Structure 1
Amino acid sequence: MGRIPETRKQALVKLAWIGIWLLYLGSPVSDLSDGHHSVAVVVLAGLGLALFVVAYLALVFLRTSADERPATWVYEILAAQTVLSLGLSSTLGKDWLVLFVYVAVACGAALPAEEARWAVPGVTVVLAGTGAWVDSPGELYPALVIPALLGGFAMLGVKQLVRTMRELREARKTVAQLAATEERLRLARDLHDLLGHSLSLITLKSELAGRMLPARPEEAAQQVGDIERVSRQALVDVREAVSGYRRPTLAGEVAAARGALASAGVAVRTHIPDPLPGLAGDTEGALAWALREAATNVVRHSGAALCVCALTVDPEAGVAVLTVSDDGHGPAVAGPRGNGLTGLAERLALAGGSLTTARAGDGGFTLRAAVPLAPVAARAS
């Protein structure tokens, strides 16, 4: 419904549904078969009726779903149908007044809504006038006026319903595409953060093991054991990320950050309360990702000797702020954020938070991640 048939089966089904309503043309067909007219009149009237039916089917088949302004041929066919209805009804009698009902339905199906609102009543007025002339007792045409109005405006409702269904289908496709895009973004963020941190730590420990191997084989073996442990944990984390169950905790990331920074020769000071007040699972996960990304950047880029991690909670403002700063050389030049910080900003935005970065007072780098507290937990805190 509301679409041009694409296969023979669709065409036959649509023709069957439309053909049911053509049974009301039995009145003019009976008038032709009763023998009240000459052969010439029957032939001409039959040709006119056949032409009328073909035009009606063409309009209903091809124009039901059209929302744009119709082509000129649509108006020409509607005008021809009106002329045929008027001519046949005027010359052959009241049995042919039913053609005007089909003209009204065709107007509702083929014309835009703003035009059909005037065309359907207009055709009904012509029906009433012609009926008053050919059916002087007035027994037939009042019974056709209401069907003409209802049929024409019913087609308007059908077109609106079809349009709404089409928009719903498009909206459902759009929602599915957005959900797939969001899932791809989530997976990309997770893999970047997981593998960036793990591979940086593996690279660092591999370099340490290589330097220790000739003189300190026991310590080198310990580093190799750490490499194996980090690799196995990275594999587990990747599997959880792909499955959608990965949600790091702040306590776990604090411990991981201490180990990674210590391996890089960076001293660590942490000021993070335990237990964490007023942090829901999503907000704590966002802060945990922020700490992981900040620690990875300190190890890979900063050249720092000291890193300070602090979590401050403001119950009145309803926010928790994680600050990670170092005394390294800081960013070389001002520029756009990398993939890690961009993905982190998206994570925090999904949790209702924000990310800010700046140079530290001693020339290093400072990262601040703010997330809202849970309302109940904030009041309790």
Structure 2
Amino acid sequence: MSAMTEDLRSDEEARADRLVRIGQPPRNRGEVLRKLVWILPWLVFLGAPVRDLLADHHTTSATAAGWVGLVAFTGTYLAVVFRTVGRPYSGWAVAALVAMMWVLAVALALSLGNSWLGLFVYVSVSCGVALPLSAAYWTIPLTTAAMMLAGWFVDDLDEAWGLFLVVLLVGYSMTGVRQLVRTTVELRKARATVAQLAANEERLRLARDLHDLLGHSLSLITLKSELAGRMLPDHPDKAAQQVADIEQVSRQALVDVREAVTGYRRPRLAGELAGAQVALTAAGVIADLPAEPDLTTVSEERESALAWALREATTNVVRHSGARRCVVELVRRQTLDGPTLELSVEDNGSGGSGKGPGNGLTGLGERLAKVGGSLEASRLKHGFRLVARVPAGTPPTSTDVGSPA
């Protein structure tokens, strides 16, 4: 996978980590401030109760009771919500605090008037954030109904209807946020598990390959070394033959190991197609890619050259083109020189900023030429097109594909 793809994944994972951190205890002062920024804007609905108390519409005792009730309600709300996105209270404690908010909202709205109906917004938020989903699904509409009844009691149904959708939908939206955070956490755990399983499978494959490559050779070398040691005093000529055999086996084992390592480092076209899908999607580019190709008649060296071409083309689209759409095609064609496998990558971007072919395209052309292929790169009226071709018949005589340009 190219460095650009890794950078895009890092950005995506950073955004996901910030989302997940909303539902976890703050680790430092910065995370505490971010949580407060996420929570405090909701306090805008407390403006009406504060204005009502400052307007001196009530008796002194009622005003004092209103301030006490408002402070208690706000403190309870902040405790419930902040602790829920930090270190949650136990189930019974949360239920008791939400019930206390519910009672305070009803009492304050009935005793002090319609300006206090906005408190039910916070009760709905607390139900959606803190209560189990099964309880939230019925307590949210119950809170909405209580708000409507309070509005009817204080003879201001217009204000109640104005808050109806706010109270109802804000609670359910909080349940959605909870499930989004939970899904993100589970997805990251699943991805980590898949990555671990893939790494374990790769280690097992490497162990099997090393055993198959070196097990027989090393056993043979050990056996012939013992024979040479026993023959050396009485039959030096036979011992010399055993030593020559040991050298030949060792050289062949070294060749096998080098070929195996080359195979591990060689990119595969199917893997690059999957990587291109991830990179383009993460960059906001609409990607149209083919299904997994049939490469039965294509040598590994030629497949590797096409894979390098796809990687370079994808990197150019993401980094330089500014494209919104990219189409990748992989087709077999019959030409005068025989069957050919053609890879084309076309985008609708600017085509980059350079006036001539860069080092990447030059290196691709050299790589494809080594396996009998060719490279074409051309600007279109609206975009850029790269076409890489390799023979799909007899494998090339040279297997030196080289390292990435």
The TM-score normalised by the length of structure 1 is 0.60
Deviation (angstroms), 1:211: 3.9
1:26 equivalenced with 2:42 (yes/no): no
Query: SS state of the match for residue 140, structure 1?
Result: helix
Q: Which amino acid aligns with 2:167?
A: A
Which stretch shifts more, 229-238 or 54-63? 229-238
In 2: Cα distance, 1:70 partner to 1:150 partner:
26
In the alignment, which residue of structure 2 is the partner of 1:7?
A: 28
Q: 2:98 aligns with which of 78, 81, 86?
A: 78
CA contact (8 A) 1:52 1:81 kept: yes
Deviation (angstroms), 1:56: 1.2
After TM superposition, the structure 1 = structure 2 runs for residues 1-381 of structure 1, keeping only pairs within 5 Å, are: 1-63=22-84, 71-134=91-154, 136-238=155-257, 240-241=259-260, 245=264
Q: Which amino acid aligns with 2:149?
A: G
- Counting aligned pairs with the same residue, the percent is 54
Deviation (angstroms), 1:111: 1.2
Q: Which amino acid aligns with 1:9?
A: G
> Cα gap change, 1:200/1:64 in structure 2, threshold over 3 Å: closer, same or farther?
same
Deviation (angstroms), 1:182: 0.9
> Cα gap change, 1:235/1:40 in structure 2, threshold over 3 Å: closer, same or farther?
farther
In 2: Cα distance, 1:228 partner to 1:57 partner:
77
Q: Which amino acid aligns with 1:126?
A: A
In 2: Cα distance, 1:52 partner to 1:184 partner:
58
Deviation (angstroms), 1:216: 4.0
In 2: Cα distance, 1:198 partner to 1:281 partner:
27
CA contact (8 A) 1:240 1:246 kept: no
In 2: Cα distance, 1:59 partner to 1:73 partner:
9
CA contact (8 A) 1:78 1:103 kept: yes
> Cα gap change, 1:232/1:88 in structure 2, threshold over 3 Å: closer, same or farther?
same
In 1: Cα distance, 2:222 partner to 2:81 partner:
70
In 2: Cα distance, 1:246 partner to 1:93 partner:
74
Deviation (angstroms), 1:150: 0.4
* RMSD over equivalenced CA pairs, Å: 2.8
CA contact (8 A) 2:49 2:116 kept: yes
Deviation (angstroms), 1:115: 1.1
Q: Which amino acid aligns with 1:101?
A: V
In 1: Cα distance, 2:119 partner to 2:262 partner:
64
Deviation (angstroms), 1:37: 2.9
> Cα gap change, 1:206/1:279 in structure 2, threshold over 3 Å: closer, same or farther?
farther
In the alignment, which residue of structure 1 is the partner of 2:292?
A: none
Deviation (angstroms), 1:242: 5.5
CA contact (8 A) 1:104 1:148 kept: yes
In 2: Cα distance, 1:242 partner to 1:62 partner:
53
Q: Which amino acid aligns with 2:133?
A: A
Deviation (angstroms), 1:214: 3.6
Q: Which amino acid aligns with 1:53?
A: T
> Cα gap change, 1:137/1:89 in structure 2, threshold over 3 Å: closer, same or farther?
closer
In 2: Cα distance, 1:163 partner to 1:101 partner:
24
In 1: Cα distance, 2:170 partner to 2:226 partner:
83
Report the number of matched residues: 250
In 1: Cα distance, 2:230 partner to 2:113 partner:
109
> Cα gap change, 1:246/1:42 in structure 2, threshold over 3 Å: closer, same or farther?
closer
CA contact (8 A) 1:65 1:163 kept: no
In 2: Cα distance, 1:280 partner to 1:206 partner:
42
In the alignment, which residue of structure 2 is the partner of 1:345?
A: none
Deviation (angstroms), 1:28: 0.6
The TM-score normalised by the length of structure 2 is 0.56
Q: Which amino acid aligns with 1:142?
A: W
CA contact (8 A) 1:187 1:241 kept: no
> Cα gap change, 1:61/1:243 in structure 2, threshold over 3 Å: closer, same or farther?
farther
Deviation >6 Å, runs of 4+: 278-282
In 1: Cα distance, 2:173 partner to 2:231 partner:
86
Q: Which amino acid aligns with 2:38?
A: W
In 1: Cα distance, 2:261 partner to 2:78 partner:
54
Larger radius of gyration: 1
In 2: Cα distance, 1:137 partner to 1:180 partner:
65
